[in-house]
Amino acid sequence: MDKNLHPSLVRVYACQEDAHIAYFDETYTGVNDAGRSFYAVTASIYRKEELEDLRTDLIDIVDNFFNKARPYWHTTEAIKTKEGQERYEELLDYLSCHADVSFITCQTSIKPKTDNQESSKKITGPEENARRECFKKLFV
């Protein structure tokens, strides 16, 4: 196991041998972006025994793309360039060759005229409201 793992990943790798781990990914186009705005959350569930190889392979694909500390990848940022689109397609090709135990996606439109809501001293806008709606549906 990589000794430079973030402490949260050390806990993941220390879990029971028969454990399943869920990875969440979020993406959206905001109300001010061109086109239809949406928010999507995806969960992929893997067996613990798959994690180390999966992590190594994914890091190899995205390694040093942004010239930031590894591992770093941000699809929304990457696909703004031709090179990023090519790297993203490489990631998709890799992931499509490996069967996930479970792959769940929730998507909702972002309602641009949604009034801000106050939630425990924090005002939330349309994107955050859509995010919360997605997570509520996903966890059901």
Tens digits of residue pLDDT in 24-55: 888 877 777 666 788 888 888 888 888 888 88
Mean pLDDT of 89-112: 78
Residue 8 resides in a domain: no
Nearest to 79 by CA among 96, 62, 98: 62
d(CA 105, CA 9) in angstroms, rounded, equals 23
Residue for token digits 């919360």? 132
Domain that holds residue 74: 16-139
Give me the amino acid identity at 33: D
Residue 2 resides in a domain: no
Q: How many domains does the chain have?
A: 1
CA angle 11, 6, 39 (to 5 degrees): 90
Residue 85 resides in a domain: yes
Mean pLDDT of the chain: 79
Phi, psi of 113 (to 5 degrees): -100, 15
- Give the confidence band of 2 by pLDDT, cuts at 50, 70, 90: low
Phi, psi of 62 (to 5 degrees): -100, -5
Runs of H (alpha helix) within 63-109: 75-78, 82-96
Residue for token digits 């798959």? 50
Q: What pLDDT does residue 106 have?
A: 85
Residue for token digits 């090179």? 83
- pTM value is 0.62
